Amino acid sequence: MLYEIGMGAGAKGESGASQSIEGDTGAAVDGIANYGPGFKPPSMHELRTWILKAEVKDINVMMEEHKKAWKQYGCSIMSDGWIDGKSRVLINFLVNSPAGTWFLKSIDASDTIKNGELMFNYLDSVVDEIGEDNVVQVITDNASNYVNAGSRLMEKRKKLYWTPCAAHCIDLMLEDIGKLKVCDQTLSLSRQVVKFIYGHCWVLSMMRSFTKNSELLRPAVTRFATAYLTLQSLYKQKQPLQAMFSSEKWASSSWARKVEGVKASATVLFDPKFWPNVAFCIKSTIPLVSVLEDRAGDGKIAIN
């Protein structure tokens, strides 16, 4: 039997939910467009009554199919913590099996997130809800409170394993690598260059003309992975960036005489350590970042 390894549970958070909502919205808009002129949307009363009841019925049917898979193949419980716009610490509980990933529930753990005892109780109650015989592993990040809760869970329930989220582990590794002097200084300089370029429309437009519309910013599944992917993009555009800051158009612009413009051009053109250090940081971290990128896409990593 295959079980999805503990990656992504603590890394996707709100972005994964946003992508799902965007996909559903797109499907709804496509359906309306396919209907053509004359489409009348349902009334508020219809949405709140029979349409809602029909959706609940469909969801319950889908859940029963997932429950059958949990019982037949076993499943993984995933704890996904994130902070919302109101600074509340929310924990989503999801269940993964060969049938897919099922959102179980969400709780507000703002006042309990650092309490190992309460985190253990949360996880333990979810195992009860799914059925201990159906659970192969419980996946969380590896903060100290979760380590404590996971250890206690395995002591109580001998048939399951606590697994730290691999994405969170890799992200912490990238964070520690970023604290090394050479990486810290290089990331700081690269952020200054990228911030300057993307912070001014004229400079950004000029950069895109030299890079043939290639971008420097590279969003990824985690904050630290994003930093190194942006570093990689910066290195790929080394020659266009050097050509831009060496051009007559740049030299004659007002930005070439401003402090932030002088710093950015000096970093790209005259700092003898900058580009070698960029290459070193990329070589040191991209294998780890690639694992996170693969997991964030359609590729699935499984273990026996």
Gyration radius of the chain over CA positions:
24
Cα-based torsion angle of the residue sequence 111, 117, 119, 123 in order, rounded to the nearest 10 degrees: -150
**Residue 94: beta bridge partners?**
78, 103
The answer to whether 136 and 107 are in contact (CB under 8 A) is: no
Last-in-domain residue among 164, 183, 211: 164
Same-domain status, 177 and 122: no
In a domain, 303, yes or no: no
- At residue 295 the predicted structure's pLDDT band, cuts being 50, 70 and 90, is low
Cα–Cα distance for residue pair 13/90, rounded to 1 Å: 10
Regarding pTM above 0.85, the answer is no
In a domain, 286, yes or no: yes
Same-domain status, 234 and 266: yes
Residues in the chain: 304
Q: Which domain holds residue 155?
A: 3-164
Q: Where are the alpha helices (DSSP H) in the chain?
A: 14-35, 44-48, 50-73, 116-130, 144-156, 166-178, 181-198, 201-210, 223-236, 238-246, 248-251, 259-269, 274-296
In a domain, 276, yes or no: yes
Count: domains in the chain: 2
Same-domain status, 54 and 131: yes
In a domain, 220, yes or no: yes
In a domain, 299, yes or no: no
Same-domain status, 271 and 140: no
In a domain, 302, yes or no: no
- In this predicted model, what pLDDT tens digit does every residue of 167-207 receive, in sequence order? 888 888 999 999 999 999 999 999 999 999 999 999 999 99
In a domain, 181, yes or no: yes
Q: Is the model's pLDDT at 5 over the cut of 50?
A: no
Cα–Cα distance for residue pair 74/76, rounded to 1 Å: 7
Can you give the CATH number for the domain in which 134 is found? Answer: 3.30.420
Give the pLDDT score at 11.
Answer: 44
- In this predicted model, what pLDDT tens digit does every residue of 62-89 receive, in sequence order? 999 999 999 999 999 999 888 888 888 8
